[in-house]
């Protein structure tokens, strides 16, 4: 009996050793779960024939009565999480997990994101905890979808569901800047190795449409929420982002400081927020778009155009010493010429980056405009160019609305000295007191222009006197309706009030 037990133990050890050897020798390829996208496998167990004597057959009969069964060790990404006594339970769990998401992502091919393996083992008296193993498997599995990655410079920029969607993204990306007809013409020309005909006058022809960088594709599993629609993928490529960066205005914020803090110029932030201007008063809580858009790829368009352009005429000026200075006469009217120009133009995302003239044909020469201007000067006749009527100083108030009333001229204050000077040659037409103007001088420049000087403390000229440009006519003061020492200066032309700043040579 002792000899029998010893031989029985030896048979058990050989059986276990043979099982382990078979597991190491064979790849576990009995069942591939392509639909599930995993490498879930079950190793095959070899059967062996044992040729024995009748006594060995008797021992085998006893061995069959022993509690021998197969269990399955479960590995997720080469990490063992437990064992189960029925491999079908693993199949069912994975199927159920995929079905859970199939309604939400019905258009996608869902797969398990991890590498799942089942390795069988024949054991005596199995003590597996199948329920705990299945719970751990459920926790460790994620559901992903087969996707096409759009890569630029080796980096995945966006994911779409298929290569067909990828082709649609490329097409729609280019259609942001050309029409379907134009794109089709370019593609047909390339396919047939043809050259697109040059445009007629007034026409524009697209010669080529391409991307600034190559976009490559790769099949990868990703989380379903990462897969973009065609429109969102196009936006991602054009703008570099799908979400705008929004800033909420806080107390004390000003537009320029907000722009600077986010690396934007004033022009940038105004372009991002078309509802505001540089003078808009921001309110606390206002939301501003401060996104810096950085296109991943740009659409390059090469086009040819032929247009008729105007050639501007030149102006030639001649002097006539017999004509008064300030008088002009046109001897010959100018006429613009015409030319037909062919351009090759390169655009990047709609912005012109290169404009090259290919050919030019002048169809009409321009005619020069000839003007004669007088140089004759009389002391009593103005030159038409007004000199600064004070010695230094600055403009303390411009013409326009002020204190609810229209201010008719400009005020000049804080001069180097207080001498008031004639702005041009002319004849004194008024010198005296005039109500709110206080002491006032008016000079007729005998060319349709009159200048007025007010609030003088004293007057140094008389009516009818001829004065030259720069001659002293009085002293700056604060007479009449005045709040301080200054010169009030007005300009009239042909009796109509004008803005002095349009005439002063300063």
pLDDT at 307: 96
Which of 90, 111, 141 finishes a domain?
141
Residues 97 and 126 placed together within one structural domain of the fold: yes
CA-CA distance, 376 to 280, in Å (whole number)? Answer: 53
The residue written with tokens 């982002």 in the block is 241
CA-CA distance, 18 to 50, in Å (whole number)? Answer: 12
Listed range (99-113, 147-161, 304-318) with the worst mean pLDDT:
99-113
Number of domains in the chain: 4
Answer yes or no: are the C-beta atoms of 331 and 371 closer than 8 Å. Answer: yes
Q: Is residue 363, in this structure, part of any structural domain at all?
A: yes
Residues 10 and 137 placed together within one structural domain of the fold: yes
Residues 400 and 359 placed together within one structural domain of the fold: no
pLDDT at 52: 34
* Structural domain containing residue 410: 390-502
Q: Is residue 385, in this structure, part of any structural domain at all?
A: no
Residues 35 and 132 placed together within one structural domain of the fold: yes
* Residue 6, phi then psi, degrees to nearest 5: -65, -45
CB neighbours of residue 178 within 10 Å: 19
C-alpha distance from residue 35 to each of 89, 223, 476 (Å): 17, 16, 98
Quick: pLDDT tens for 49-92.
333 334 434 444 444 455 678 999 999 999 999 999 999 999 99
pLDDT at 341: 96
What value does the mean pLDDT of the chain take? 85
pLDDT at 51: 35
Which of 376, 400, 420 finishes a domain?
376
What token pair was written down for 35? Answer: 């639909």
Q: Is residue 338, in this structure, part of any structural domain at all?
A: yes
Mean pLDDT throughout 433-443?
Answer: 97
pLDDT at 360: 95
* Residue 291, phi then psi, degrees to nearest 5: -75, 135
Q: Is residue 295, in this structure, part of any structural domain at all?
A: no
Quick: pLDDT tens for 283-324.
999 999 888 778 889 999 999 999 999 999 999 999 998 886
pTM of the predicted model as reported, rounded to 2 decimal places: 0.52
Listed range (37-46, 186-195, 228-237, 319-328) with the worst mean pLDDT:
37-46
- Reported confidence tier of residue 37, pLDDT bands at 50, 70, 90: very low
Nearest to 454 by CA among 495, 498, 410: 410
pLDDT at 347: 94
Q: Is residue 401, in this structure, part of any structural domain at all?
A: yes
C-alpha distance from residue 234 to each of 108, 165, 224, 227, 463 (Å): 20, 11, 18, 13, 79
Which of 141, 176, 208 finishes a domain?
141
Please give the span between the terminal C-alpha atoms of the chain, in angstroms, as a whole number: 130
Quick: pLDDT tens for 176-219.
999 999 999 999 999 899 889 999 999 999 999 999 999 999 99
Quick: pLDDT tens for 463-489.
999 998 999 999 999 999 998 999 999
Quick: pLDDT tens for 316-352.
999 998 886 778 999 999 999 999 999 999 999 888 9
Whether the per-residue pLDDT at 34 is higher than 60: the answer is no
CA-CA distance, 414 to 395, in Å (whole number)? Answer: 9
C-alpha distance from residue 306 to each of 186, 202, 204, 357, 359 (Å): 19, 6, 7, 10, 9
CA-CA distance, 395 to 500, in Å (whole number)? Answer: 11
The residue written with tokens 């269990």 in the block is 71
What DSSP letter does each residue of 46-64 carry, written as one string? Answer: --------HHHHHHHHHHH
Q: Is residue 267, in this structure, part of any structural domain at all?
A: yes
pLDDT at 130: 92
Residues 104 and 161 placed together within one structural domain of the fold: no
């Amino acid at each position: 009996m002792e000899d029998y037990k010893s031989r029985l133990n030896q048979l058990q050890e050989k059986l276990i050793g043979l099982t382990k050897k078979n597991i190491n020798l064979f790849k576990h390829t009995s069942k591939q779960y392509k639909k599930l996208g995993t490498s879930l496998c079950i190793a095959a167990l070899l059967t062996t024939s044992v040729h024995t004597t009748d006594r060995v057959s008797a021992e085998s009969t006893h061995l069959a009565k022993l509690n021998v069964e197969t269990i399955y060790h479960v590995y997720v990404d080469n990490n063992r999480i437990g064992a189960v006594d029925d491999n079908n339970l693993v199949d069912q769990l994975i199927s159920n997990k995929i079905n859970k998401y199939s309604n939400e992502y019905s258009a996608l091919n869902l797969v398990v994101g991890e590498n799942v393996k089942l390795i069988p083992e024949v054991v005596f008296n199995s003590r597996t905890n199948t329920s705990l193993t299945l719970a751990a498997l459920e926790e460790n599995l994620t559901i992903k979808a087969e996707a096409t990655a759009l890569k630029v410079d080796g980096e995945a920029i966006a994911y779409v569901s298929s290569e067909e969607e990828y082709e649609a993204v490329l097409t729609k990306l280019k259609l942001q800047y050309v029409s379907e007809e134009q794109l089709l013409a370019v593609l047909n020309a390339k396919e047939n190795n043809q050259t697109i005909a040059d445009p007629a006058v007034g026409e524009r022809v697209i010669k080529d449409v391409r991307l600034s960088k190559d976009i490559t594709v790769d099949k990868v599993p990703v989380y379903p929420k990462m897969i973009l629609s065609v429109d969102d993928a196009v936006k991602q490529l054009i703008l570099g982002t799908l979400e705008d960066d929004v800033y909420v205005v806080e107390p004390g914020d000003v537009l320029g400081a907000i722009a600077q803090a986010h690396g934007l110029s004033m022009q940038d932030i105004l372009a991002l927020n078309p509802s505001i201007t540089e003078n808009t008063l921001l309110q606390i809580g206002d939301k501003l778009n401060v996104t810096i858009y950085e296109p991943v790829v740009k659409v390059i368009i090469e086009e040819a155009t032929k247009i008729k352009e105007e050639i501007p005429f030149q102006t030639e000026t001649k002097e006539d010493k017999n004509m008064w200075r300030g008088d002009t006469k046109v001897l010959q009217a100018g006429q613009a010429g015409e030319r037909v120009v062919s351009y090759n133009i390169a655009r990047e995302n709609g912005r012109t980056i290169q404009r090259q003239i290919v050919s030019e044909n002048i169809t009409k020469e321009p005619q020069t405009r000839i003007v004669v201007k007088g140089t004759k000067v009389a002391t009593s006749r103005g030159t038409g160019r007004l000199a600064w009527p004070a010695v230094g100083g600055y403009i303390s108030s411009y013409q326009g609305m002020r204190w609810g009333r229209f201010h008719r001229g400009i005020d000049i204050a804080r001069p180097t000295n207080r001498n008031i000077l004639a702005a041009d040659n002319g004849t004194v037409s008024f010198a005296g007191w005039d109500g709110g103007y206080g002491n006032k001088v008016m000079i007729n420049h005998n060319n349709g222009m009159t200048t007025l000087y007010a609030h003088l403390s004293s007057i140094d000229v008389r009516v009818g006197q001829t004065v030259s440009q720069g001659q002293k006519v009085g002293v700056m003061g604060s007479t009449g309706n005045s709040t301080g020492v200054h010169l009030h200066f007005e300009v009239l032309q042909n009796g109509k009030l004008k803005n002095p700043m349009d005439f002063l040579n300063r």
